[in-house]
Structures are given as structure tokens and as C-alpha cells.
Structure 1
């Protein structure tokens, strides 16, 4: 019995020591590299999904204490990193992924085109920097140096960078956002609103356009609706409805603003051109029904007959159902029409841009003193009342003069109501 116990104890004493398993990811270690006379801080982050090899991050120090401090720095830096792409992805590669996966599916192609025009500036400045190496200094320098004189573009760039970096944090690519506290360049003064006079409106309506046979009715429709250009050029005949009395006389009408016309992001492989697309309005509130006066409806009904004549005398006319078309029946490109309008109004000596014609609808409604801000918001299709208040409630010189006269009358009454008494200084 004694011999058996001794043998058992002997076996226990001679049993090989249990090897310690591999350190867990992010745990790290330090060791002395004799050949280089350096201490090495090393942390393992996992495996490269493409090669299957371990990914390690190292720092070299002169002393053991420095190596321990460096190891802690590595642990903090990579504590929340579960994806290893931050060190391999460039800023451009990440923002392209973010744009296609998280942004593009929920915005219009027109908005995507606008985003891409801003992203070109970002890519040119910081696109080749590794995502993990991107700093706030890089981004702030870009905003002030490259976009210092382009406030709106800088504003859009900051918005896109903030959103992309927030998503990078959620995807565990970054611990903190280098775009969180970016400052914008100095905001320029608000562009002066040039209110079109009745003579300006008349000159625009009467202009004889050689390029657009429908010019007159485009301007008239803008006058009675105040729609965005993309909404105006997207109108189809099915969007209009006219009311008639028993004798068939038009007494009024309605128009359903439900589409916007914009240029697609990608070229048509067959034509090599960017096709036009019919999409939804800019905002949910932009989908709206507007009342039309009888005189305008009569004029538009007359124009429809003019369009039928144009259709009959044009070879190769393509029926598309659009109210406003080119000479061949195809829809009008908003960008080209915008350029043509700019040329026309300068030729006529008019300072009012096309978007200011939309502003003018708000100004005329406000001056009528029978509409409140909610009515104006509904007419223009704004997403919030704040936009209506901040942008479209322009006070013209006549209104300012009225305020001045009103104040002057009150001051005169105050000063003349009682005799002036001498005031003694205590």
C-alpha cells in the first residue's frame, strides 16, 4: 500500500507542467529583442480574412517600463476595434462603401449626384489617407484651405464627413470621430433677394424664345405655383385637372405636384449620355395639390392645343406625356433650362434668378395679408415651417417703408402729446 502511494506521488511529481495557452486577442505582451537591443510591445488583433495570417501591432522601446506603457497604449487604441480594415481602408474606400450601403438606397439619384460632387473635393484632399490615420487636423485644414471661399460646399462636406465617421465608429473601425468638432469657414452674407417687379414678370412672359416653344407657359406656371424647377419640368398632363360649368366653360383647376425631374448619376451605355429620370419630390411635403385660377387654366388649355400643332408638324416627335418639352417632345433638362434662363434674364436686364421667382410667390402671398405661414409652407412644399420663416419671408422696400412710417407716426404722437418739461440732472 505504501509502495503504491509512493509510486502515485512520484508520477505526480514527474508530470509535465501544463503549458499556458495562447494569449487572447488584444491582451498583448512584451519581450526583449536581443539582436536589436530593444523591448518590443506586441498585441495580436486576430487574423487577416484574406491571407489567414495573424495580424500583430508592435511598438519598440528602449526600456522595459517604456514597453509596458506602449503596450497599454496599443490596448487602448485597439480596444474597440473588431474589424481590421481601418488600417487597410483609405478614406475614399470607406466613404464609397458608406455611400453605397448606407446612403444611396434612401436618397434620390439627384441628391446622390450632388453628394458625389462634394465627395470629389474630399477625395482630392484626404482620400488616400488610411482611415485609422485620419486626424481632425487633416479635415480642418481641408475645410479652411480648399473650401474657405465656398461655404455651402464646406457645409455639405462637413455633414458627409460627420455622418461617414459616425458610421465608422458604429462599425468598430474607429474609436472616435475625427470629424466631430470641425469648424466651418466664415459664413458669407445672405444673398440679396431681387424681387421681380410686374414689369419683370411681363418681360419674362413675353420673351420670344427660339429654343423653347413652351417658354411663355413655363413662366406663367411658375408665377401661379411657385414650384421648384425640377418639379415644374416634371409636370405631366395627367397631373392637371380642370373644372367646367354646365356650358363647358373652365372655372378653375388643380395640379398635383408629385414628381421631380433630374439627371441620372450614371451614363446610358448605349447613348453615352446621362438620362433624365422622373422621381419623387424633394421632400414628403413636396407632394401636394395646388389650386389654379380659371384664367390660367384657359391659357394652359390653349397651350395644349399649341403643343398638338407642334407635334403634328414635327417629324420624329416622341410622345412622353410631359407638359413642357423640347421641340422633339422629349423632356427638358433642368440644368440646361437653368442656364438658358440665366442667359435670358441677363439679356432682359433682370436680376431675379429662377429660384427667386419661387421666393416671390412667398413674398406675394405674405403681402396679400390673407395667408399665414402654414399656407405659404403648404404652397411651396417645405418640409418645415422654419425654412419658410428663414428663407422665404422677404420684406421688400415698400414693406420696410411702411414699418418706418408707422414707427415715425408713433414717435411723433409720443413727442407732441405733452409739452416738453425741463429735466434736471440730480
Structure 2
């Protein structure tokens, strides 16, 4: 049985499953085809209520005609709704990628008519213009999230960004972990500058660049040898902003080795002397500062690390590579992956293993086994006394 209403007001129809489907007409496309909005409810009463609500929303302009929604309009609306849940730097990055890269290529398209081939064509155009795989990955993540929300709102039936693949790329310059000799060479060069202690501290703790810049003396308990990561500095549109760490797992308490505690005590004494002798000093409470006591600007550290490495004959080294170095040296020493992951503030050990684990040549050499070693009988396996009883049903444990 169908409950019909006046033209455009829609109807309610019972389905074979026993539920009720409501439907209204939103208008017509350029080919004269009806544009419909529909939904399903358990009872006729609920379906009728949903139909009336949808019709009222449409008449008030709150239910746009799907074929008339362009990618630009939808993505801008989606980002505005997403903003409260995003960190300032992430929001600024999303907004920039949308405005600069995604919308100029796909913004004029209608959301419902978007095809995987359209999305892939946009990716190829960006790649042909020389943009990195990282940039294209950001474009894909943003578009995929926006279209997923369009699916939830029943504006599209599928998320075409889920199936559109990125084009192939040649491998770019990979992240790098310095060897022990390279690390020593780098730190020797760093100690020729005012911020030598900072670089040793970063290699010793594996902190992110922004976490090191944000670190205050109040975040350190040198008596117990503890460091409390509570703040982070991010750079948004060239402006450094103090905020919370990158993720929940990035808020962490770290045990410091005695050597690092001594380093920090000596640095504190030197900082007090520098402050006493400075003509201008702004007391900010930060552990590492410029010559005026102000918080360090993260991008300046990146530039300094690159110059130090080049001058020391180490080639290209990013500041973030010091974090990779810390992780790889720890893992090469046999520190459990889970421990290193928590020290780095990663939410998943897979991030540590897949991105930060670099295997050194010495490890390959150490674990190069001959065929006779591989074929040698394995050592006796030790079993727990609490192991399950064998299949013969007898308990063979010694009394």
C-alpha cells in the first residue's frame, strides 16, 4: 500500500521486508530527470514523519539538490564542520591543500557525478606538475574524508576517492638514521655552535623538533631524572604556535639516563651565566632558547641541522633524522619495539617499525649465518610447567 501526496510532496511505501520507505522530489536535473530524496523507517508513522521533515527542510533550503552540490561547496562545508576537531596546524594545512591543489582541479565538478577517473586524472595532473607523493597523499586523505561524509549524508552512493589510486612515483629521498660514527661527527660539529647541547639532548631522547622547542624547566625533574612531554610548538603559515603535543600518546613521561641529567644540569648553569651577562634577556622558562632567552623557532633548527651536516661532510641530514637515529640506535641495541614506540610517543608500534626502524650494515654483518649454522640442530626448547596436557591425556610433568 502506498500513501501518495500532492506533486513533489512524495510518498510512503511499504517494502516486502515490512519496513516503510519514504520519498520526496527535490526537483529535476538538466535532462529532465527527477531528483529524489528517500529513506527507510521501521513503521509507517516514522516514515511519514521523516518525509514531512525532509520536505520542510527542502522548502527551507536546508536540503540542497544533490546534483547541484559542487565539490567546492561540499568540501568547504565539510572542512568548516571538521575544524573543531583539528589541531591548528592540521586545519591550516587542510585549508591550504583544498584551496591551492584540490579545488582548482575538481571544485567545479558536481559531487554526485564525480568518477574515480576524474579523481585519478587530478592526481596525475599534480604529479605532472612536480608535486611530491606526500602532497598527493594529503590531497587523497582530505578528499576521501570529505566524500565519506557525503556518503553518510546520502548525497553520494559511494566514495570514489576510496578506489582512485595514486600514480606511481620514483622513490624520493628517504628518511635517514645516522650511524654511531656519523652521529659522533655531527655532534662534534654541533658543539661548535651555541646550540650544541640541544642537538645532543635531541639525539639522547628522540623528542620531536617542536617538543624540544617547547620544553620548559618546569617539565623536568632532574632529581628523579624525569622528563614530562606536555607542550609542542608547531609552525602554521610561518608563525610558531605553542600548543599541545601531536597526539594523546605524545603526552608522555620519559626516564632520562644519568648522563643526560648531568648534561641538563650543566646546561642550566651555563644558561644562568648567559642570562646574567646578557644585555637583553626575556625569561621564558624554556630549556633551549636564543641569545635573548626567547623560545627557539623550529624551522631555524632544521636549517642549522642541514648546514652542520653539510659542513661535516655528512651530506643531507634533516633535523627529524635525529629522531630516526635515536629510534634505530635503540632498536639496534635490543631495546624492545614497544618501549621505543612509547618513548617516541607513537600510538602504534607499526609506525615505529615501518618508518623509524633503519637496519644498520653492522646488523646485517652480525646476523650473516652460514648454511652449516642454519642447518645445525636447534638448542633445547624449555617448556613451562603450566603447559597444556599432551593429546594422550597423560600429565607428564614431574611431581
Q: Normalization by structure 2: what TM-score?
A: 0.75
* Alignment counterpart, residue 310 of structure 1, candidates 274, 280, 286: 274
Partner of 1:324: 288
* Alignment counterpart, residue 97 of structure 2, candidates 91, 94, 118: 118
Q: Distance in 1 between matches of 2:371 and 2:114?
A: 59
Query: Structure 1 residue 253 and structure 2 residue 225: aligned?
Result: yes
- 1:275-298 CA-to-partner distances (Å, cap 9, x unmatched) read 422222222111111111223222
By how many angstroms is 1:411 displaced? 5.9
- 1:105-159 CA-to-partner distances (Å, cap 9, x unmatched) read 1121122233234322102212233434433322110112213662222222111
CA contact (8 A) 1:147 1:153 kept: no
SS of residue in 2 equivalent to 1:261: strand
Distance 1:322 1:128, change over 3 A: farther
Q: Distance in 2 between matches of 1:182 and 1:355?
A: 31
Distance 1:344 1:124, change over 3 A: farther
Distance 1:363 1:237, change over 3 A: same
Q: Distance in 2 between matches of 1:413 and 1:236?
A: 55
Distance 1:153 1:412, change over 3 A: same
By how many angstroms is 1:364 displaced? 1.8
Distance 1:285 1:171, change over 3 A: same
Query: Structure 1 residue 362 and structure 2 residue 327: aligned?
Result: yes
By how many angstroms is 1:255 displaced? 0.6
By how many angstroms is 1:45 displaced? 4.3
Partner of 1:374: 338
Q: Distance in 1 between matches of 2:300 and 2:95?
A: 20
CA contact (8 A) 1:45 1:57 kept: no
Q: Distance in 1 between matches of 2:356 and 2:123?
A: 29
Distance 1:337 1:26, change over 3 A: farther
By how many angstroms is 1:365 displaced? 1.7
Q: Distance in 2 between matches of 1:208 and 1:400?
A: 30
Structure 2's unaligned 5+ residue stretches are 12-22, 40-53, 378-399
CA contact (8 A) 1:262 1:333 kept: no
Q: Normalization by structure 1: what TM-score?
A: 0.70
Partner of 1:23: 7
Distance 1:21 1:123, change over 3 A: closer
By how many angstroms is 1:226 displaced? 0.8
1:203-222 to structure 2, matched below 5 A, reads: 203-207=185-189, 213=194, 215-222=195-202
By how many angstroms is 1:177 displaced? 2.9
Q: Distance in 1 between matches of 2:115 and 2:332?
A: 51
Structure 1's unaligned 5+ residue stretches are 1-19, 28-42, 47-54, 61-70, 244-251, 266-273, 415-426
Partner of 1:299: 263
Q: Which structure is larger by alpha-carbon Rg, 1 or 2?
A: 1
